[in-house]
Amino acid sequence: MKFTTEGIIFMILAWGIVSTLTIYCFGKVLKTKVRYDNQNNED
């Protein structure tokens, strides 16, 4: 079975969408450093 041009396009598109979303999310997460640990400031 040959890897067709459409197949390559679909693979690159799918990988591109997923990678972009992941990089965007983690970029944002790392920018907004939040520490949830509230062992010391529990109500």
Partner 1 sequence: MAKRERWGTRIGLILAMAGNAVGLGNFLRFPVQAAQNGGGAFMIPYFVAFLLLGIPLMWVEWAIGRYGGKFGHGSAPGMFDAMWKAPISKYLGALGLFISTVIMVYYTYIESWTLAFSFFSITKAYFGETTFDAMRSFLQSYQGIEKNYFQSILPAYFFMCVTLFINFFILYRGISRGIEMLAKIAMPTLFLFAIILVIRVVTLGTPDPVNHPDWNVESGFAFIWNPDFSKLGDAKIWLAAAGQIFFTLSVGMGTLQAYASYLRESDDIALSGLSTASTNEFVEVILGASIAIPVAAAFFGIETTQEIAKGGAFNLGFVSMPIIFQKLPFGEFFGFLWFLLLFFAGITSSVAMAQPLIAFLKEEFGISHGRATALIGFSVFVAIQFVVFFLKHGFLDEMDYWAGTFGLVLFALFEIIIFAWIFGMDKGWAEITKGADIKIPRIFYYIIKYITPLYLLFIMINWLVQDAIPTFLMKDVEPEDVPYRWGARALMFLIFTIIILMVKTAWAKRANKMGVVK
What's the token pair of residue 1?
A: 């079975």
Least separation in angstroms between CB 8 and partner 1:
7
Q: Does 40 bind partner 1 (CB under 8 A)?
A: no
Least separation in angstroms between CB 12 and partner 1:
9
Residue for token digits 């992941």? 22
What three-state secondary structure class fits 21? helix
* Positions in the binding site for partner 1 (CB under 8 A): 1-4, 6-11, 13-15, 17-19, 21-22, 24-26, 28-30, 32-39, 42
